[in-house]
């Protein structure tokens, strides 16, 4: 198989973790007789420095022309004082919009080897943590109108949170389809007791639910969901929710699994050209020190192989290799526990590559 991959290393630890993911992809390519061609493009802060914009047209064109896109991370204190539409994060939102990627899947799965790293009580962890959040990506408050104006002598900021019935229905369907492939349980999360957008969300979800009688379906308010994720995460299989709620809940979910550095994500639209990235940020405090955990990015590459290229066996080989490395007690600094060996970012990539 020959495929083209757009590579957006980004900022902070982005180049380090993406480098290890590419190492793994090359090992897979050699073992299974594939050829992956890489197109390296700028996004975020590095794009601002080089091109004066967080999302150059060249990057958009390159991602649209690729078969899939692998991303590291964007942002950092260097660019914190820029205007909102010039910040690195605008590049990330922009590329999702340009590629029409409206569905983000973020698994929250606790590796048994990292059980001691979870901040939750042992009896909660022992019940199991294995759910996935389906987050809508191109609507809601992140893409609504934003303005700050002066009214009666003081500044007033306004952010609009729009959602159409079509936008809600298509992401809810992905939630149901995902649940059908798992344990057939879906929780739709909203704030229907306050927001009109959530009331439309709930009505749409309930309508679509009638088409999936095999799936156990429930609505849940977002504040309750945030509490339930730490109280009883075993109750969840698939959570579907809107953009901002999903952003917050997935970060919470990642921490109960022991390390935010372990969690991958995929963003897809109508086709197979998706965007794959770890859910953590650019971690500028450790950038360039070879300390970062590359596993979330490596598992994102595994998702890329599975969802964009249809290479299930190759994807499973990466996941199996990660499990073997963890079973050997090999860790990076963010997930260390007693009796384990701490590896650098490069050493972790090498260890996983050797297992494959």
Please pick, among 85, 126, 159, 223, the residue that the annotation labels catalytic.
223
Active site residue 251: yes
Instruction: Count CB neighbours of 192 within 10 A.
Output: 20
- 3 state SS of 106: strand
Please pick, among 142, 212, 276, 307, the residue that the annotation labels catalytic.
142
Nearest one of 122, 219, 141 to 175, comparing CA atoms: 219
- 3 state SS of 154: strand
Strands 154-159 and 146-151: antiparallel
Do 188 and 227 form a contact (C-beta atoms < 8 A)?
no
Do 275 and 303 form a contact (C-beta atoms < 8 A)?
no
Please pick, among 11, 42, 67, 247, the residue that the annotation labels catalytic.
247
Give buried/exposed letters for 13-40 (b at 16+ CB in 10 A, else e).
bbbbbbbbbbbbbebbbeeeebebeebe
Do 299 and 262 form a contact (C-beta atoms < 8 A)?
yes
Q: How far apart are CA 261 and CA 259, in angstroms?
A: 5
Active site residue 247: yes
Q: How far apart are CA 124 and CA 66, in angstroms?
A: 42
Active site residue 130: no
End-to-end, the C-alpha distance of the chain in Å comes to 18
Please pick, among 3, 191, 291, 306, the residue that the annotation labels catalytic.
191
Q: How far apart are CA 322 and CA 293, in angstroms?
A: 12
Q: How far apart are CA 284 and CA 76, in angstroms?
A: 6
Active site residue 210: no
Which sequence positions are flagged as catalytic? Answer: 142, 191, 223, 247, 251
């Amino acid at each position: 198989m020959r495929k083209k991959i757009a590579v957006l290393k980004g900022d902070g630890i982005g180049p380090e973790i993406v480098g290890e993911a590419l190492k793994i992809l090359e090992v897979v390519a050699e073992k299974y007789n594939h050829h992956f061609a890489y197109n390296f493009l700028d996004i975020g802060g590095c794009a601002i420095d080089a091109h004066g914009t967080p999302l150059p047209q060249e990057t958009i064109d390159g991602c649209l022309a690729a078969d899939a896109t692998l991303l590291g991370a964007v942002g950092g204190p260097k660019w914190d004082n820029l205007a909102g539409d010039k910040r690195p994060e605008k590049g990330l939102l922009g590329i999702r919009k340009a590629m029409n990627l409206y569905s983000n899947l973020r698994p929250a799965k606790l590796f048994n080897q990292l059980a001691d790293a979870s901040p939750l009580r042992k009896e909660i962890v022992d019940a199991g943590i294995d759910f996935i959040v389906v987050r809508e990506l191109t609507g809601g408050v992140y893409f609504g109108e934003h303005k700050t104006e002066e009214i009666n002598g003081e500044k007033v900021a306004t952010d609009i949170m729009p959602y159409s019935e079509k936008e809600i229905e298509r992401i809810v369907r992905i939630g149901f389809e995902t649940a059908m492939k798992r344990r057939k349980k879906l929780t739709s999360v909203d704030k229907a007791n306050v927001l009109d957008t959530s009331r439309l969300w709930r009505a749409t979800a309930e309508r679509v639910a009638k088409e999936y009688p095999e799936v156990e379906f429930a609505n849940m308010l977002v504040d309750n969901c945030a509490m339930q994720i730490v109280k009883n995460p075993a109750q969840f299989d698939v959570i579907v929710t809107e953009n901002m709620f999903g952003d917050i809940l997935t970060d919470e979910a990642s921490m109960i699994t022991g390390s935010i550095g372990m969690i991958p994500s995929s963003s897809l639209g109508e086709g197979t050209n998706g965007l794959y990235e770890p859910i953590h940020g650019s971690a500028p405090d450790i950038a360039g020190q070879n300390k970062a955990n590359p596993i979330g990015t490596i598992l994102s590459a595994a998702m890329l192989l599975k969802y964009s290229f249809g290479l299930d066996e190759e994807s499973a080989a990466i996941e199996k290799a990660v499990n073997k490395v963890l079973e050997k007690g090999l860790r990076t600094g963010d997930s260390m526990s007693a009796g384990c060996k701490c590896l650098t970012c490069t050493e972790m990539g090498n260890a996983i590559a050797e297992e494959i």
